[in-house]
Amino acid sequence: MDTKAYANIRKLLIIGLIASIVTVLGGELTIGWVEYPRVENDLTGMMGMMLGSANLSLWQLACGVLFGGIGIPLQYYGFKATAQLVEKGGSKRAAKLIHVGAAATAGLGGIVHVICIALMFLCRMVDFSAGGIPQPLWDFTLWLVLPICVVFMPVYYAMTLALFVAVVRGKTCLPRWAAVFNPLTGTLVINALPMLLPASALVNALGMANMGIGSVLTFAGILAVMKKAE
DSSP string, the chain: --HHHHHHHHHHHHHHHHHHHHIIIIIIHHHH-S-----TT-TTSHHHHHHHHTT--HHHHHHIIIIIHHHHHHTHHHHHHHHHHHHHTT-HHHHHHHHHHHHHIIIIIHHHHHHHHHHHHHHHHS--TTSS--HHHHHHIIIIIHHHHHHHHHHHHHHHHHHHHHHHTT-SSS-GGGGG-SHHHHHHHHHHHHHHS---HHHHHHHHTHHHHHHHHHHHHHHHHHHHH-
The list of the chain residues with pLDDT below 70 reads 1, 42-43, 229-230
User: How distant is the alpha carbon of residue 23 from its chain centre?
Assistant: 9
Cα–Cα dist 185/51, whole Å: 29
Give the pLDDT score at 6: 84
The answer, as to whether pTM is greater than 0.75, is yes
Question: According to the model, what pLDDT value does residue 229 have?
Answer: 62
Using an 8 Å Cβ cutoff, are 64 and 90 in contact?
Answer: no
Amino acid at 158: A
Whole domain around residue 73: which residue ranges? 3-229
Domain count for the chain, please give it: 1
Contact residues for 206 (Cβ-Cβ < 8 A; gap 6+) = 29, 32, 190, 193, 213
CB atoms within 10 A of CB 79: 30
pLDDT at 153: 97
CA distance 227 to 141: 44
Q: What is the pLDDT of residue 30?
A: 97
